[in-house]
Amino acid sequence: MLVDCESCTVRGKSCSSCVVTLLLDTPQAFHQLGPEEVNAIEVFELAGFEVTVLEPTHFETIPVTPIPTPRRRNGRAA
């Protein structure tokens, strides 16, 4: 039997419930990756690199500071 994830019609959307994923014991962090990240990992694997997806140890949050806008008077900037 040949399983080809490249030709899977639900690739990415249903990997977490796929029997192949279950058999290969893919880390949960892998399912949180976007398609571009998964593609990059596949490129490294095809090039012969051994790739390990690690579980996140923490979640980074980037502080967002709003940019002050000038106050307007009568439709014009102050």
Which tens digits make up the pLDDT trace of 27-63? Answer: 566 667 778 888 888 899 889 888 877 766 666 677 7
**Residue 64 banded pLDDT, cuts 50, 70, 90:** confident
The reported pTM is 0.37
25 in a structural domain: yes
Name the band, by pLDDT with cuts 50, 70 and 90, for residue 12: confident
Residue 60's pLDDT is: 67
Q: What separation, in Å, do the N-terminal and C-terminal C-alpha atoms of the chain show?
A: 72
Residue type, 77: A
Give the structural domain span for 42.
Answer: 10-56
In a domain, 15, yes or no: yes
Number of separate domains in the chain: 1
Q: Name the DSSP class of 73.
A: E
- Domain membership of residue 75 (yes or no) is no
The model's confidence at residue 78, banded by pLDDT at 50, 70 and 90, is: low
Domain assignment of residue 34, yes or no: yes
Q: Is residue 68 part of a domain?
A: no
Tokens of 61: 């949050």
